[in-house]
Amino acid sequence: MSRLNANLLHPCQRVGDNLARWREAGGGEALRLGAANPAAILAAVKDADLRGLGGSGFPVWRKWEAVASEAPRPDKYLVCNGNEDEPGTFKDRLLLEETPHQVIEGALLAALAVGANRVVLYVNPDLTRSLAALQAALARWHNTEFLQLAGDALGQAITVELVPSSGHYIGGEETAALEWIEGKFPFPRGKPPYPAQYGVHGCPTLINNVETLANIPAIVRHGADWFRAQSTGRGTGSKLYSLSGDVLHPGVYELPMGTTLGDLIFVHGGGLLSGKPLKAVFTGGPSNTLLTPADLDVSLDFDSLRERGAALGTGAMIVVSEGTGMVKRVAEYARFFAHSSCGQCISCKTGTATISRLLDRIDTGRGTAADLATLESLCRMLPGTGRCHLVNGVAQLLDSSFRHFRQEYRQALK
C-alpha cells in the first residue's frame, strides 16, 4: 500500500475552480451532513483531535468552543487565514489554487460549528494564482444551494467575502489579520482579549489556517475515527509537509502526521542532491528551529518535535546539506524577521535589527567574541517581550543554531 495518504490533495479534490467535478466526487456532502446536525461538527473535530496547522499546533476544538460560547455582537466572524508567507512554506497556496472548494466548504462547516455568520477568506495577494482560483471558486458557490443551506441551518444568512491581505509577513498573525480586515494597518494586538472574545469590529472571531479548515470536510464525512487512523505517530490525520532545500524532489507532500524526518527526506524527497551528507533541517513556521542528522528518526508531529526542543511549525522542512554556511543561513533568516517586524514593540524592532546586524558582522568575518556574547544574551532577553511571536521566533532560531553549530560561529569570529 502506498504510504501516500492523500486526503487533502487527492486527485478528485484537485479540480481547481471546477465545481461540477468537485461535486461528482462527493464535494458538498459534508456540508449537507453538517447543516443537518451542526452540533456534531464540533464534537467530531474534538474527537479527531485536529490541531492548528498554521504553526501553533493548538487544539482546534478549544478555540472553537471559546467562540461558540460567545454571543454574536451582532455578528460572529470566521477568518480563513491564507496569508502564508513563512520561509519555506508553500502548502496553503497549493490548497487554495487546486482545491478551493474544499477550503470554502471547510470554512462554512467551521462557521456552522461556532455560529459565525460572516466568513472572511483572507489571502495573501502575492499568491496571485491562489487568489484567482479562490475568487473563481467563490463566484461559482454563489450560484449553488450551499450558502442557502448553511444559512438555514444557522438561522441567518451567511456571507462569504474574499479579502486580499496586506501581503506583509506580520499580516499572518491572528490579531494583525483582524486589524487589516477592519481596514487598518496589520499591527498585532495585545492579548488578551483573544479574538474569540474581541475579534473583527469587536465581534467574536474564529481564525484558522487554510490547511486546518481544509481538513474539516473529511472529518465530517468520514468521522473522527477515520481521521485519527490516518496518522502514524502521535498526532492525528495527515499533514502537508513543504519540503525544500538540497533535496532531489522538493515539493508539497501530504503524508501521515508523524512520518519520520528520514522518510520525508530520503523516501519521498529522493535524498540529498549530489549525494552530499545532511547537515541540518530548518523547520519553518512562526518558530524556526533546527534539526540535525541525529533527528532523522523523529516523528514529524507537534508533540514529538517539541520533546526534541524543536517545533513542527507549518510543516516546512528546509534541508541543508554539508557545505552550507550556517551563520550565513541564520543571518538570512534574521534579516527576514528584522525586515518583517512591524515595529510597534521596541524590543522586537531593535532586537531583531541588532541580531541581524551582529550576525552579518560575524558572517563577514568582522565579528568579535563580544558580539557573540551579545547575541547569546539577546536570546535569553528577547523571548516574550513582544505582542506577537515574531521576536520569539528569531531568538528561538538563533538559540537553536547556537546549540548545534556554536563552533561555526566561533570560527567566523575575527
Partner 1 sequence: MKRGLSLQAALAAYRPDAELAPLPEQIDPDRLLSFFHPDHLRDSVTTLTVGPNAGAHCQRELADLLQAEAVIDEVDLAGVPVTDTDVLVIGGGGAGCAAALAAAEHGARVLLATKLRLGDSNTVMAEGGIQAAIEPGDSAQKHMQDTLRAGHHAGDPALVAAMVGDGPEVIHWLIRQGMQFDQTDSGDLHTRRAGGTSAPRIVHCRDYTGLEMMRVLREAVAQHRGIEVWDQHPAVELLSNERGQKCVGAVLSSLADRSLRIVRTRSVILATGGLGRLHLNGFPTSNHLGATGDGLVLAYRMGARLCELDSFQYHPTGLVNPPYLSGKLVTEGIRAAGALLLNAQGQRFVDELQPRDIVCAAIIRECREGRGIHPDVGGVGVWLDTPRLERSQPGLLERQFPKLLARTRVAGIDPRSEPILVYPTLHYQNGGAVIDVDGATTVPGLYAAGEVAGGIHGRNRIMGNALLEIIGFGRRAGIAAALSGHDRGPKKITLEHVNRARRALALAGLPLARRAPQVLPPYAAMGKDS
Binding-site ranges for partner 1 (CB under 8 A)? 87-88, 90, 126, 167-169, 244-246, 248-250, 273-274, 320-321, 323-325, 327-328, 332-333, 335-336, 339-340, 360, 363-365, 412
State the burial class of residue 39 (Cβ atoms within 10 Å of its Cβ: 0-12, 13-18, 19+): exposed
Dihedral pair phi/psi, residue 407, rounded to 5°:
-60, -40
Q: Which is nearer to partner 1, 54 or 87 (CB)?
A: 87
Q: Which is nearer to partner 1, 295 or 363 (CB)?
A: 363
Q: Which is nearer to partner 1, 75 or 332 (CB)?
A: 332
Amino acid at 92: D
In the complex, least distance from residue 212 CB atom to partner 1, rounded to whole angstroms: 24
DSSP run (H or E) holding 339: helix 326-340
Dihedral pair phi/psi, residue 252, rounded to 5°:
-95, 125
In the complex, least distance from residue 13 CB atom to partner 1, rounded to whole angstroms: 24
Q: Can you tell me the distance from the alpha carbon of 181 to that of 75, in angstroms, rounded to the nearest whole number?
A: 14
In the complex, least distance from residue 185 CB atom to partner 1, rounded to whole angstroms: 14
In the complex, least distance from residue 87 CB atom to partner 1, rounded to whole angstroms: 6
Give CA 125 to chain center in angstroms: 17
Q: Which is nearer to partner 1, 38 or 245 (CB)?
A: 245
Q: Which is nearer to partner 1, 109 or 342 (CB)?
A: 342
- 223: cell is 468521522
Q: Which is nearer to partner 1, 308 or 335 (CB)?
A: 335
In the complex, least distance from residue 260 CB atom to partner 1, rounded to whole angstroms: 23
Q: Which residues contact 84 (CB under 8 A, 6 or more apart)?
A: 90, 91, 92, 93, 124, 127, 172, 210, 314
What are the start-end ranges of the H helices in 191-289?
210-222, 224-228, 261-262
CA atoms within 13 A on the CB side of 248: 14
Q: Can you tell me the distance from the alpha carbon of 150 to that of 107, in angstroms, rounded to the nearest whole number?
A: 11
Amino acid at 199: G
In the complex, least distance from residue 282 CB atom to partner 1, rounded to whole angstroms: 11
Q: Can you tell me the distance from the alpha carbon of 219 to that of 167, in angstroms, rounded to the nearest whole number?
A: 31
Contact 381, 368 (CB under 8 A): no
Q: Which is nearer to partner 1, 143 or 274 (CB)?
A: 274
In the complex, least distance from residue 85 CB atom to partner 1, rounded to whole angstroms: 8
In the complex, least distance from residue 364 CB atom to partner 1, rounded to whole angstroms: 5
Q: Which is nearer to partner 1, 64 or 90 (CB)?
A: 90
Q: Which is nearer to partner 1, 298 or 326 (CB)?
A: 326
In the complex, least distance from residue 379 CB atom to partner 1, rounded to whole angstroms: 21
Buried b vs exposed e over 45-73: b needs ≥16 C-beta within 10 Å?
bbbbbbbbbbbbbebbbebbbbbbebeee
Contact 178, 79 (CB under 8 A): yes
